[in-house]
Structure 1
Amino acid sequence: MFFRNPLIRRFIVGEHVRRIGEVGPLMFLTSVSESICFFLGALSDMPAVRAFALYAGAALLIDFLLKITCFISLLSLDRQKANRCCEYSLQDNEDNRSADGSRGALYNYFKSTYVPFLRKRNVGVVVVLTFFVWLCSSLAVVPYINIGLDEVSAMPEDSVQLKYFQHLDQYLNIGPPVYFVVTEGLDYSEKETQNMICGTRYCRPDSLAMQLYSASKSPADTYLAIAPNSWVDDFFEWTNNGDCCKQFPTNESFCPNNYSKPLRRQGQTLKVAGIHLSTAMLFPRPALRGLLTRF
């Protein structure tokens, strides 16, 4: 125990009573009004906004409880230790008592009921230990908190994308799509530029698609679940495909697949996107490469 003199102990208790009686009602009204404002935000249809509003409102109430319980207990212990040599003035205490008579109901409640109860030594120890255990339990679950915002939580219940994200998570078991965008300034009609982007067999081993493919081999580190798709590779596949997307050279009308195969067996030349194409090729011809300049 810090004090053996009951007069000094009464003086410390009286100081805490007056201070809490003065600022306690203001802290109470401020915390309650701010919490009500956040709780009103929980009326939103968006789950993310609702969760944030509930957490924020509860955090303000918990903060108020911390200030009027744990903080006062720690301050009381520190004040007792720092004022061992102080003398008690009965006259000052009587003057403060006479001034306290004109206080309101909240002040009288904090003075006569709350602060004396909290100032009990056993109660103060229990309060400090309770919040210390709460702090340790909160730190223990920090590693289990997910990073980022769940897409489903950010969508209202009537959103058209809600079902999409739910089915994506349920059936595909992958995260959100990732797009790697190349800045402008490249001439995609040049073979060297194509080699820097594509990911087919004859492309450069350090091309963009090949580097992303190598990164997908370590999903735990790169968070890339599968190998990416390159639109350049898709374009090459489209130009080398001899069974679709053909036109008759005479009238440039669409040539169905069931007509294109027999005609190609007969050696007739069909047209792809207005360009004659009779043999398969890995890279587009110079005339067909001109289409790449449109991308």
Structure 2
Amino acid sequence: MHSFGGNPSAPHQTTTQTLFSDTFPLHSPQVSYYTSKSKQEEIDSHTTDGFPLFIITYTCAITFSVISCLRSDNVRNKMCVAVFGVVTSGLAVVSSFGLLLYIGVPFVITVANSPFLILGIGLNNMFILVSDFQHTHVNDPVPKRMAHTYKEAVMSITITALTDVLKFFIGVMSDFPSVQSFCLYTATSIAFCYVYTITFLGAFMALNGRREEGNRHWLTCMKVPSVKTSTQTVMYKLCCVGGQYDQSTGAEKKQRASNFFMEYYGPFLTKPWVKVMVMIIYFLYLASSIFGCFHIQQGIELYDLAADNSHVTKFIRKDRQYFSDYGLSVMVIVKNEFPYWDETKRCQLQACLEDFKEPQFVDRDIFTSWLDSYLSYGKDKHLNLNNKEVFLSNLPQLFDLSPFFMQDVTLTGDVIHASRFFIQTIGIANASKEIEMLKGLKAIAGKCSVASLSVYNHEFIYFDQYNVVVSSTIKNVSVITAVMLVVSLLLIPNPICSLWVTCSIGSVTIGVTGFMALWDISLDSISMIIFTVCIGFTVDFSAHMAYAFVSSKKPRPDDKAVDALSSLGYPILQGTLSTILGVSVLASSEFNTFRTFFQIFFLVVFIGMVHGLVFIPVVLTTCTCSSEEEEEEYNEKEIKTSKL
């Protein structure tokens, strides 16, 4: 449709432009071209376009991680650990992609979004490990410090990794092949990321711990003094002194951000009036999200599948702008053998074909029918086309007069196996109209009882997704929720906390869906993939916070929340900022797929962070009661500690 000669070469385009310029020197016309293969060729040609963005993202992630792990103490500095944390994510991507490509798993353009997700998961794990390592006693042996770190951190990391891997492996059973490939690549990457985190990154942290144990410089690994003296120069004190720690706790001195969560934010959040305000804000968030859910649009504009500067995008936009009155030319196919010479059945078939002219999106006057032309030809020639032999023997004469009809009839011997007719759609101005048109034509085809009919246009492959995209999204989110509930009940030693972690998935899902509508993001197969992926990622924040809350030794729920926030508040904030910073480069991509990934990923990470740092602590403190036994046991331990 509206196709200008297939796929012209560059010299041909230059000649055409020169010709037009000579003819119309003042206003040179713009020529847009398109074929039925243009869209797929465009997608295939840009499959690897995400790799430059991938490199930029990892560079930004390394920079932010290094800055956030920078310490003024030359021994306690964690810059190298931050670098190796990013390298761990990169190794996971390289290992998984290499393995799956080696065994022949297809690489589709949606898979290019996977590395950004793995980066977020890897950085989040790294920040939590570093935070828990800093809470250990610096004078303890390194094996003991690592044992304490793994005891506190690895369980929550295991919960999130296990749920993510199970979720994506279940996603391999999706209706969309692109989703199947994406889920397989992502699940394998997460598995590699988990293994590399607890082995490769853990081993490097142990080596870094031995360096700290020997009070060695973070860069040169040379021993440095731990105490500043008056004889040392300012530069020497700044660059060559380190190894100090908190004498009261025996642990490293806390970062200002960690102190903020422990001394200011945590106590403020647990005030009764603040909890009430948080619950009011939450219900307002929920109401606005539900409002957005009822206004989300389905469908994808086909130019969103190509690059912004692509000839496909230019053509479809111009076609929408200037020729939207006339839409697709749709085939109506008679799929099986049919006795066209039987007058009764032929009249019934023609009545079915007439029904296709009734909808308001079909032009009654533009209808291509080899059968109507043949009947007119038979009437002019006084042929009895109700006779099978006459009908079949005169068909070649029709094809000689109108050769293009030869492509509309599949004839072998004296059997017509299939045939097709054409109708012209009109007024198809957007994706919603396309959905309405496809559903309407399929319904008309299904009502015909005399013959098996189907409708087809090469762009229906994109429209067909609309029938399953909502159900698939609901199914995927339900699977994520069920898997998260089972894993949480098995690994988090508190059923109430497990339930609230699972409920947070539903809350984030509603929020992201609602704000997708407010951000003008349609629900289609691409956004469904990204949406499903990102929803799984939000589990991490809530699961980490809930596990830290349950594991806290504090007796009162408010104290547990403050303890959990002081341990994980800063790592969650670091993970959020590093992830958003990393994927922000996608906002400048010329591909709508990558821009959509950034928009949804931003919504998911930000809303997930708010749940982990605000809503979940408030809900857990409200729904959890402290026992007298825990308070007595905690008071006894405090008394013993003070005596010692």
TM-score normalized by the length of structure 1: 0.39
Q: Which has the higher helix share?
A: 2
> Which structure has the higher relative contact order (CA within 8 Å, separation 6+)?
2
TM-score normalized by the length of structure 2: 0.20
